[in-house]
Amino acid sequence: MKQIKGPAIFLAQFVSDTPPFNTFRAICQWASQLGYRGVQIPTWEKRLFDLELAAHSQDYCDEMAGIAAEAGLQISELSTHLQGQMVALHPAYQDMFASFIPEPLRGDASAITKWATNQLMLAASASAKLGLTSHASFSGALLWHTVYPWPQRPQGLVEQGFAELARRWLPILDRFDEVGVDVCYELHPGEDLHDGVTFERFLAATHNHPRANILYDPSHFVLQQLDYLAFIDLYHERIKAFHVKDAEFNPNGKSGVYGGYQGWLDRPGRFRSLGDGQVDFNSIFSKLTQYGYDGWAVLEWECCIKHPEDGAKEGADFINRHLIRPTEKAFDDFVGTGADSERNQRILGLK
């Protein structure tokens, strides 16, 4: 068995114009002081990271890794969640996602897809220069607006949607394959890849591409009422990244999974700081360790109640307490009798 690395922290929810959250050096020092050993970098955040420069400059990547190392940290993964969303953006969502898109491209679906694809290609090169093996992203969505359809979906719609999604992602996956990095899709409501079935559809459409993998985040499965422990048993071979995020689901007589268009505080399903929700992290860490996951355990803070800095401070200790050092021997080895074929024959009654 291998050991999970951590704790690490996804920086996206903490970046601001206020020190220490406005530069990579300062935010690394902050994370290190809280007890983190890794940082996952949002590549769209110019205050922290220049993706284009990283893709073309080994010196810049060495500098960024060096800044992290000075604080006692490693870079766990790069993230292109926002850019990955734009690889497959349904026109209905262009206004809602406008802030993610360079202003000159807004309203031009073809230009948006081309830009997003290039961003992922840059991320592949940057990941390789940083010596990373996993990359975090979203799949985008062409079908999400039909997730609970009325009237019924036209025959063949789902198949065509996944064929197009695969067509857009295959060149990206091939590029990541060239540099030896896994694309880890966070299975997330709002994305066409949001559960096991949709991930399997995508795998089939990409001919089981070896670089199409999973960022496992149990919080999104709690909100969907999916068995997040059985999911590990089914898909552990494809789990190459891990967001440690808590959640709770408290249905009532007024709303359930869909949330009634309410804000996060009032929805039955809501994200919480680590230890404040319902996720069974003891079992998750046990299963991932059992199956040999040796990637990073990365805090993603998205609590609707607790202050982010408090969530981050508590999260480092929480992850540390759940990391498991795998045993190198069986508990009953002390009474082992070694291999003896003839004795085995006698025990079996064959001699």
Percent of the chain with pLDDT over 90: 93
Percent of the chain with pLDDT over 70: 100
Choose among 82, 74, 12, 73: nearest CA to 48.
12
Tell me, what CATH number does 279's domain have? Answer: 3.20.20.150
Tens of pLDDT along 87-144? Answer: 999 999 999 999 999 999 999 999 999 999 999 999 999 999 999 999 999 999 999 9
Across the range 329-337, mean pLDDT stands at 77
Considering Cα of 180, then 116, then 142, then 272, what sign does the dihedral take?
A: positive
For the cut 80, the answer to whether the pLDDT of residue 335 exceeds it is no
Q: Tell me the pTM.
A: 0.96
Beta carbons of 208 and 239 less than 8 angstroms apart: no
Chain-centre distance for alpha carbon 300: 9
For the cut 90, the answer to whether the pLDDT of residue 340 exceeds it is no
Position 342 scores a pLDDT of: 87
Beta carbons of 1 and 289 less than 8 angstroms apart: yes
Position 334 scores a pLDDT of: 73
Position 331 scores a pLDDT of: 77
Segments forming the whole domain that contains residue 168? 5-347
Tens of pLDDT along 9-49? Answer: 999 999 999 999 999 999 999 999 999 999 999 999 999 99
Position 15 scores a pLDDT of: 98
Choose among 50, 52, 51, 39: nearest CA to 12.
39
Classified as helix, coil or strand, 42 is strand
Overall domain count for the chain: 1
For the cut 80, the answer to whether the pLDDT of residue 178 exceeds it is yes
Separation CA 233–CA 290 (nearest Å): 10
Choose among 233, 134, 230, 234: nearest CA to 185.
134
